Structures are given as C-alpha cells and as structure tokens.
C-alpha cells in the first residue's frame, strides 16, 4: 500500500491532524501537539510524509519517515517561485480543509 501524507492544518484557532483522503484524526490546541501526533502516525505506519500547513494554507514544514528523500532539481524553475505561489493562491481553498 502506498504511503499517505498526514497533514497538520489550522482550523478555527485549533490544529487538526488529517491523513490524505480521510476524516480528521484529532484536534489539538497547539501546532506543536498536532505535529507530534502526525509524526507518531507516520512512524506507526512505517512510512509516510507529514505536511505542516501555516495559516495561509502553504506548507511551512514537511517531514519524511521511511521514504527516500526527493532530490531537488539543480535547475531553477522557468516559471519562478512567485508565479507558482500566485497560481496556488488563485486555485482556491486548500483541498484538505473540511
């Protein structure tokens, strides 16, 4: 079975932990508590990715457990970071939000 990402997402002043394609598995008062739970879930699954979102929906951190690290391209994107961020913002709300 493919490893799924576990997301830490801010919602209404709380932090939820949610696996891709599933309901929230927990609601936490702090980002630190939610991140700890997400890492525990990834470790228990033997392989997984943890993606921590910030309040704007962008990833603020990510962690891999039991998966190979994806190499960074030695070439700069022709599109540019600013254009990519703008396109993401314009695509609408995060699909992982409730």
Name the phi and psi angles at 93, rounded to 5.
Answer: -70, 160
Assess if residue 89 is contained within a domain.
no
Q: What's the domain count of the chain?
A: 1
| Beta bridge mates, 8 | 17, 52
43: domain range?
5-67
Average pLDDT of span 67-75: 63
Assess if residue 37 is contained within a domain.
yes
Assess if residue 94 is contained within a domain.
no
Q: What is the mean pLDDT of the chain?
A: 78
Question: What integer pLDDT is reported at residue 1 of this predicted model?
Answer: 46
Average pLDDT of span 67-92: 69
28-66 confidence digits (pLDDT tens): 999 999 999 998 888 888 778 888 988 887 877 777 777
Assess if residue 80 is contained within a domain.
no
Average pLDDT of span 61-73: 67
Q: How open is the CA angle 97-32-58, to the nearest 5 degrees?
A: 40
- pTM of the predicted protein model: 0.62
| pLDDT beyond 80 at 3 | no
């Amino acid at each position: 079975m493919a490893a799924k990402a576990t997301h830490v997402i801010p919602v209404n002043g709380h932090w939820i932990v949610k696996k891709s394609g599933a309901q929230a598995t927990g609601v936490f008062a702090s980002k630190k508590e939610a991140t700890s739970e997400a890492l525990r879930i990834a470790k228990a699954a033997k392989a997984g990715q943890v993606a921590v979102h910030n309040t704007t929906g962008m990833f603020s951190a990510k962690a891999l457990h039991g998966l190979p690290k994806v190499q960074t391209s030695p070439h700069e994107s022709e599109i540019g970071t600013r254009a990519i961020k703008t396109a993401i913002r314009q695509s609408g709300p995060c699909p992982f939000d409730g």
